[in-house]
Amino acid sequence: MKIQQTLVSAVALAVVVLSPLTVMAQQTVRIVQTNSAGDNVHIIDPVTNTVVGEISGIERAHGAQPSPDGRWLYVANESDDTVDVVDVTMLKVTEQIPLSGRPNNIAITPDGSKVYVAIAQSPGALDVIDTSSNELVATISVHGGVHNTYVTPDGKYAVAGMIGARNITVVDTKTDMPVWSTYFDLGIRPMAFDTNADGSTRHVYAQLSNFNGFGVLDFETRQEVGRIEYPEVTLDQRTPGHGGNTAHGIGVTPDNKFLVANSSLNSSVYVYSLPGLELVGGVRVGHSPNWVTITPDSRYAYVSLSGSNSVAVLDIASVEVVTEIQTGGQVPKRNVTMIVSR
C-alpha cells in the first residue's frame, strides 16, 4: 500500500499554553525525555511546555518507563549495562539493577509487576525484572539482539523487535516463554499497537530499516498484511545527514483513532487515521525526529529531535507544530508519557 499526499507546510513555532492534561483528580502528566549523549534525563510539564526537572548520573540513557502510579522511573543505562531505578519524587537514582548485556529500550506491564529489557548486545535476549524485589529474574533467549521491546496494551504479551535478525518475537508475560515469531525482509525498528473493542491487540505497526514508512502486522494471524509508505520525498527535501534510520518513532493515540509516525529522511511527522490508515497530513519538524510519545487525552504528540537537541509538540488533529522545547539535553531520543499520582 502506498499513500501519496502533499506535505503540509510547517507553521511558525509559537509558545502556547495547552489546556490542562490532568487525566483525573490528584494525577499529573509529565513527559520523560532521555538523552543518548551526556548523563541526564529531562522532565517536561505538558501544560506549560517547560522543563521542570532533571535526573542526572545516567550515562547514555536509552529507554525509560514509569511505574503505573508514577512513583518510580526505570531507565536503561547503556554505559553500565543496568536498569537504573529513579525515585520520581526526589528525581534521584536509588538503585542499579545489573543486566545480562547492553540494554536498549524497555517496557513495563500494566500492573507494574515486571519490566522487560531489550538486550541489544550479542547474542541478544529479553531480560525480565521483578519490580517487587528489583532483581533480574529471567533472561529469555530470542533470535538476536533486541532493539526495542514493548508490552501489549492488554498486558498479555511482551514483544521484541530485532534489527539484524529481522524478526518480531512475542512472549507470554505469564510464563515468560516465547510463543511465536514472524520474520521480515528488513530490520525491525520502533513499533506501536492498536486494539480491538475487547482490548486485545489488533495490529503491530513496525517501522523497518531503510524503508520510509511502516509495516502492518495482523496480531491474530501473525502475518504482515501491508506496508504504508510515506509521501514521496524529492532529493531537495531530504535532510542532510539524516542517518540510516529512515523512519524512527511511531505511536498510536490512547483513543485508538490516530497513528503518529516520524520520518528522519525529511525531518517530518505524519498522522494517519485508524483503522483505515488514511493520511491526515504531515508536517516538517526540527532535525531528525527520533521518537514520539502521546498525551493521555490523545491531543498532543511530543517528538524528540536528535539533530536539534529539542522536543517538538504536535497538535495531532490539526497536524501543526505548536511549540518546540529546548531541553538542554544532548541528542534526545526515547521519550515516554508518565502519570504521577500525588
In a domain, 11, yes or no: no
Q: What is the C-alpha to C-alpha distance for residues 217 and 180, in angstroms, rounded to an integer?
A: 13
Q: What is the pLDDT of residue 4?
A: 41
Nearest to 34 by CA among 237, 261, 233, 309: 309
Q: Would you say 75 and 66 are in contact if contact means Cβ atoms under 8 Å apart?
A: no
What domain range includes position 289? 27-341
In a domain, 7, yes or no: no
What number is the average pLDDT over the span 175-198?
Answer: 97
Strand-pairing partners, residue 301, are 294, 314
What number is the average pLDDT over the span 83-98?
Answer: 97
Q: What is the C-alpha to C-alpha distance for residues 191 and 147, in angstroms, rounded to an integer?
A: 11
pLDDT tens-digit readout, 52-86: 999 999 989 999 999 999 999 999 999 999 999 99
Q: What is the pLDDT of residue 82?
A: 98
In a domain, 184, yes or no: yes
pLDDT tens-digit readout, 224-250: 999 999 999 888 888 876 655 789 999
Residue 193, domain CATH = 2.130.10.10
Q: How far is CA 282 from CA 184, 267, 314, 320, in A?
A: 27, 10, 10, 8
pLDDT tens-digit readout, 198-227: 999 999 999 999 999 999 999 999 999 999
Q: What is the pLDDT of residue 243?
A: 57
Nearest to 11 by CA among 322, 264, 238, 325: 322
Q: Would you say 67 and 83 are in contact if contact means Cβ atoms under 8 Å apart?
A: no
pLDDT tens-digit readout, 322-334: 999 999 888 898 9
Q: Report how many domains make up the chain.
A: 1
In a domain, 216, yes or no: yes
In a domain, 257, yes or no: yes
CB atoms within 10 A of CB 137: 12
Q: How far is CA 342 from CA 25, 101, 147, 294, 334, in A?
A: 9, 35, 33, 21, 25
Q: What is the pLDDT of residue 237?
A: 86
Q: What is the C-alpha to C-alpha distance for residues 134 and 113, in angstroms, rounded to an integer?
A: 10
Q: What is the pLDDT of residue 7?
A: 39
Q: What is the C-alpha to C-alpha distance for residues 262 and 287, in angstroms, rounded to an integer?
A: 11
pLDDT > 70 in the chain, percent = 91
In a domain, 14, yes or no: no
In a domain, 79, yes or no: yes
CB atoms within 10 A of CB 36: 18
Nearest to 73 by CA among 95, 88, 62: 88
In a domain, 119, yes or no: yes
CB atoms within 10 A of CB 130: 14
Work out the pLDDT band at 342, boundaries 50, 70, 90: low
Q: What is the pLDDT of residue 244?
A: 58
Residue 17, pLDDT > 70, answer no
Strand-pairing partners, residue 191, are 206
Q: What is the pLDDT of residue 15?
A: 32
Q: Would you say 318 and 301 are in contact if contact means Cβ atoms under 8 Å apart?
A: no
